[in-house]
Structure 1
Amino acid sequence: MSQNSINKLKNKIKIEKNTILIIANGSSVLSYEYGALINTFENVARINNYSISKHDKYIGDKIDIWFNGANQGLKKRKILDQQQVVVFVPLLIHLNKQHRLNKISKKLGISSDKYTLVPKDEMSFYESFTKINRPTTGLCSILWSLKRYDKVIIHGFDFFQATKDHYFDTKIKKLLIKYGLINIGNKHDNISEKLFVDYLIEQNKVITLDQYLQK
């Protein structure tokens, strides 16, 4: 992509208002060096154990929102004042294991006033609307954004179809995943999630970053 084309796209992005770009953790993000363009968006959201180090030329380094599930193995982050933290806890935990909600602050390493816990009723709506039990943090982030932004752009949502690894996984971990020695993504209905997001794209509710940049 020429510098002139990049500048034109940057100008296009800067005009957009009330727009969010959600970057998921699929390995497909390493196919394009979109970093400079991604940093131009008004709101850039990242998910769970995202990694900026060594990947910024592909996915940029701007972080406005951190979506996470306060799940086991979640890496703690240093949160800047202007950054927003949104936590999606599965409906099942809201209903049957409420004591876990008191541990979110410790898991994140931040005080409770530094994050927003999506309420039980909204998590219930996500499940009823999608007809998917325990939707992933990624799908929840899309649904949350649809309610709050005029345009929702997504990137790196691979749904564990081509590979089971994340773009930031080490070579050793990728091999272990490839040969089934580590199970990834088995708690979720990845195929149903892909079909649902494809439906949102067909309905022009959501657009992929590739589609947005090619328009």
Structure 2
Amino acid sequence: MEFELLGWPADGPTLRLDYERFSYAGKFVMSNTGKAVARIDAEGDDPDSDQQADDIVAAVAFNEDRTDSSTLWLRYVTVERAHRGEGIGPALCSFVRERALERGYERLRIAVNNPFAYEALYRSGFAFTGETTGIAELVLEYPSPNPAKDTDDIDDRDERYQSGLEEFRDRELSADEHAFLDDRRHDGAPGLETDASPRGHDTSRDTPRGHDTSRGGRR
């Protein structure tokens, strides 16, 4: 497995994904977000052109917050249907997280609409902020929001984790999602999975950080 940064938003990278294999495939054709991918094969394509490769098994699209240039939003995360549940999504998000911090971003944010994505982002070091978007997505942030004063860090992290799961429990969900939530009713927050991408690399051009004013699809 290899992770590759195709470009930052200012580079305008585009990526063509198979609609039958990936959710949100159409969002990755847009050039107003940066892109990173997970590949089974180490060989990449030309980052300066539209890309489509059978070896891609996951992708992330991201851009800057519209009002805070120190914050990067992960807009879309998609994993090939045949490879879901293998930890590829959290590992790819961790790869993007590290590249973003190296580039000078102070925090990353993402909004999720299901408990599986919520769990995956916790494994990448994100934590629930207590906020929801206008379309009821839960907002998570890295680094984890500061714990309340006089509160043990671990207890606070576990409480945040469970408060987010509670947000999902009253919603119309699939049987699998309800079973997932029931299994974790008394669990603490999952541990951080380390960045598993020693072979990851950045093929983007060395461009300055430009402020991206587009809203994107999901926040």
Structure with bigger strand share is: 2
Question: What range describes the TM-score normalised by the shorter chain of this pair?
Answer: under 0.3
Structure with bigger helix share is: 1
TM-score in terms of structure 2 length = 0.25
